[in-house]
Homo-oligomer: A and B are copies of this chain.
């Protein structure tokens, strides 16, 4: 992989290519033209060619893309063939839902431990993953080679938990708390702000001409 900067827009689109190629692969499709992929995905064929050229192309004029090969290559670019050790912070409703997603493991993301402040939850398990005391989190992170923390707690606590995690050497945070976390540039943060997503839907409903 070259070290050149790939635009954020391309990175945003990569997982979607991966999803469509995975579906084609499951259906037994062996090759696809950029034109056909374009029609499936509702993006222009030239956009697809441009996006994939960022990573060296993969296509062959007149042949199209080899589905299985392209799927694997994008998976590698996305880092999906490495194993990641995760902890989940917050075993509330959302934490439960996230811990329940078996699909993440298929992609190499393993939740090794769950932490919560609620003493009533301690000692119980979600899918065989133990819920532990927050005070044991720093040691657990260090001893179990944890690289990603999933934060699903109210925003008031999220900032200090993130600070603790950064001090423990965490490399990535998947943030569901309703706050922007301030971390050093070496720590990657990907946030899912659900209420902001709902507001965008609301905006679009409110501003669609036919709804006025």
| Residues from chain B with Cβ under 8 Å of A201 in the complex | 148, 172, 174, 188-190
Taking a contact as CB atoms under 8 Å apart, the answer to whether A190 and B204 are in contact is: yes
Which of A16, A189, A196: most chain B CB closer than 10 A?
A196
Known: A186-B208, A188-B208, A204-B172. A14 touches B199 (CB 8 A): yes
A135 at the interface (CB under 8 A from B): no
| Residues from chain B with Cβ under 8 Å of A93 in the complex | 96-97, 100-101
A3 at the interface (CB under 8 A from B): yes
Taking a contact as CB atoms under 8 Å apart, the answer to whether B174 and A188 are in contact is: no
Taking a contact as CB atoms under 8 Å apart, the answer to whether B77 and A178 are in contact is: no
| Residues from chain B with Cβ under 8 Å of A186 in the complex | 208, 210
Known: A171-B211, A188-B204, A204-B188. A15 touches B196 (CB 8 A): yes
* Segment 195-212 of A: residues with Cβ below 8 Å from B: 195-211
| Residues from chain B with Cβ under 8 Å of A6 in the complex | 207
A116 at the interface (CB under 8 A from B): no
Indicate which residue in B79, B97, B103, B211 contacts A205 across the interface (CB closer than 8 Å).
B79
How many angstroms from the CA of A15 to the CA of B148 in the assembled complex? 27
A-B contact list, 10 entries, CB within 8 Å: A11-B204, A92-B100, A97-B97, A104-B195, A147-B205, A148-B205, A171-B208, A186-B210, A190-B200, A192-B197
